């Protein structure tokens, strides 16, 4: 990854830093975007270098979020918050209370549909609701006004009749639209509503304050075109790997794009992987499994979930991507989906990434390592979905969100958030992976807890130390997360973040 325009012209000397694996404090010199020297306090010097005193704070490799839908994360604030609702009736009450507020008050968003009165909410999770959603009930809650409610997992929407007509979808009697028709509708909803550069800058800065230097953006959009423009507009706090979706694959091939190719003069944005979604989600009961979901007709067409891309179609995409030098990342949540995707990787002799890997067959754990498949997982989802998994994957949760099993089988782990499904905050992922607990609840399947250093490495692309020659993507912490109390892992104090030696967040001078 080029870094010719990332680092400041002036060298930086960090005084009195604590480094992983070193018993005493050290001085660290950063030059040309890399760690140039490490030595005992007072022994490292460089004329003209700027200096910052760390006073015994910890200096560790900075973090990546390996799975983000960045535009969805940015615009979530302008949508009606549905995350606390525990039933369909509570959702309807929220909609009734909000329906008369004009767009722009935090309850709606402009759309690309030509209508600015659409009420948009985000964050409902209906897997454990005691009552069912209803198209008629949502129509009655906001007579005449289009209402679009986006699920917390982004895999379905609850719409009323005016919204269905506006978006060109045919909802079920429940008002729900799922998977491929919904994903297309969500694209139409968001078309022409890109947030301002200032909104992107603010969101990137929030990530930097948490020690994040990079993200993998899986937004279903023209990421390779949009991100260089954002950098030009001043969104420079993050490295970004910009994914390619199947509908843009041919264009990417024609442009000669290859995974790892730089897309901007500063070297911040690179071409990421082809992103393919082959099944649904647990909360929407569309993740493709070997066993049927409780409560669904076992003979029904989607009793075991939904297959959105067949193995044959996936294989065709693999062939095109491999010949073009484009890596592949595949969304697979159910155990049947994971088996099929592993089969496809094996048939094509390709390494790659499986995103989520939430339910894995016992015989498939070792295949991740043998085939060179990275498991890109989101530990906070295990905390969000533990009760849903207990209900809909009964008798199988010993291999659900099975991070320890993947690690012990030799798989490479990478951690992310899937923001906005979970917050873009790696410390939440770290805490969930280490403790398997949240809000004082007993640990869920504690046998799947990850060791801390494994977890920290999985958030830092395998880095656990700071050594001479390393790219100076670093964070300054008030405490050492490798030994601090578990209950504090969700709120680690980040005093500074450096991207190639350039401060993107600095609270040391405050």
Note the pLDDT tens digit of each residue in 171-214: 999 999 999 999 999 989 988 677 999 999 999 999 999 999 99
Averaged pLDDT for residues 104-123: 62
Q: Which helix (H) or strand (E) holds 342?
A: helix 335-348
pTM, two decimal places? 0.94
Instruction: Check if the beta carbon of residue 16 is closer than 8 Å to that of residue 10.
Output: no
Distance CA 443, CA 131 (A): 28
The predicted structure's pLDDT at residue 473: 98
Note the pLDDT tens digit of each residue in 449-468: 999 999 999 999 999 999 99
- Strand bridging mode 26-31 / 34-39: antiparallel
Residue 437, CA atoms < 13 Å, CB-side half-sphere:
12
Note the pLDDT tens digit of each residue in 294-319: 988 888 889 999 999 999 999 999 99
Q: Using 50, 70 and 90 to split pLDDT, how confident is the model at 112? A: very low
Q: Is the pLDDT of residue 510 over 60?
A: no
The predicted structure's pLDDT at residue 5: 54
Average pLDDT, the chain: 94
Note the pLDDT tens digit of each residue in 233-288: 999 999 999 999 999 999 999 999 999 999 999 999 999 999 999 999 999 999 99
- Torsion region of 351: left, alpha or beta (phi above 0 gives left; psi -120 to 50 gives alpha): beta
Note the pLDDT tens digit of each residue in 25-83: 999 999 999 999 999 999 999 999 999 999 999 999 999 999 999 999 999 988 999 99
Averaged pLDDT for residues 314-331: 98
The predicted structure's pLDDT at residue 108: 41
The predicted structure's pLDDT at residue 299: 87
Averaged pLDDT for residues 351-355: 98
* Among the listed residues 92, 86, 79, 88, the one whose alpha carbon sits nearest the alpha carbon of residue 141: 92
């Amino acid at each position: 990854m080029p870094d010719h325009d990332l680092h400041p012209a002036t060298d930086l000397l960090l005084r009195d830093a604590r480094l992983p694996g070193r018993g005493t404090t050290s001085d660290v010199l950063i030059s040309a975007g890399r760690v140039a020297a490490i030595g005992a306090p007072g022994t490292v010097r460089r004329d003209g270098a700027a200096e910052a005193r760390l006073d015994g704070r910890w200096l560790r490799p900075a973090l990546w979020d390996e799975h983000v839908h960045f535009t969805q994360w940015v615009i979530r604030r302008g949508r009606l918050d549905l995350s606390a609702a525990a039933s369909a009736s509570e959702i309807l009450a929220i909609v009734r209370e909000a329906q008369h507020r004009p767009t722009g008050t935090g309850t709606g968003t402009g759309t690309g549909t030509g209508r600015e009165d659409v009420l948009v909410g985000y964050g409902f999770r209906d897997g454990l609701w005691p009552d069912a959603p209803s198209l008629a009930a949502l129509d009655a809650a906001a007579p005449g006004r289009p209402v679009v409610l986006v699920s917390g997992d982004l895999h379905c929407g609850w719409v009323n009749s005016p919204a269905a007509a506006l978006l060109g979808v045919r909802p079920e009697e429940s008002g729900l639209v799922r998977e491929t028709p919904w994903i297309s509708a969500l694209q139409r909803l968001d078309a022409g509503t890109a947030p301002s550069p200032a909104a992107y800058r603010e969101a990137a800065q929030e990530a930097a304050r948490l020690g994040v230097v990079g993200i993998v953006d899986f937004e279903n959009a023209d990421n390779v075109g949009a991100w260089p423009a954002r950098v030009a507009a001043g969104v420079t706090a993050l490295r970004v790997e910009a994914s390619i979706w199947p509908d843009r694959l041919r264009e990417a091939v024609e442009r000669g794009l290859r995974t790892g190719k730089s897309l901007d003069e500063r070297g911040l944005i690179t071409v990421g992987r082809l992103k393919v979604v082959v099944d649904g989600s647990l909360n929407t009961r569309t993740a493709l499994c070997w066993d049927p979901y409780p409560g669904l007709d076992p003979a029904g067409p989607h009793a075991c979930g939904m297959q959105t891309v067949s193995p044959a179609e996936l294989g065709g995409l693999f062939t095109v991507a491999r010949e073009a030098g484009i890596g592949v990342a595949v969304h697979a949540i159910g155990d049947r989906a994971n088996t099929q995707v592993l089969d496809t990787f094996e048939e094509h002799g390709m390494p790659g990434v499986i995103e989520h890997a939430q339910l894995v067959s016992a015989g498939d754990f070792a295949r991740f390592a043998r085939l060179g498949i990275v498991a890109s997982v989101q530990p906070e989802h295990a905390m969000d979905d533990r009760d849903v998994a207990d209900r809909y994957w009964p008798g199988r949760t010993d291999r659900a969100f099975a991070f320890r099993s993947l690690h012990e089988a030799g798989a490479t782990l990478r951690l992310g958030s899937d923001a906005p499904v979970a917050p873009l905050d790696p410390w939440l992922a770290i805490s969930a992976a280490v403790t398997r607990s949240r809000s004082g609840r007993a640990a869920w399947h504690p046998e799947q807890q990850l060791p801390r250093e494994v977890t920290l490495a999985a958030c830092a692309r395998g880095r656990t130390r700071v050594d001479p020659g390393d790219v100076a993507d670093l964070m300054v912490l008030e405490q050492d997360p490798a030994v601090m109390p578990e209950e504090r892992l969700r709120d680690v104090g980040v005093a500074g973040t450096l991207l190639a030696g350039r401060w993107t967040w600095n609270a040391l001078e405050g």
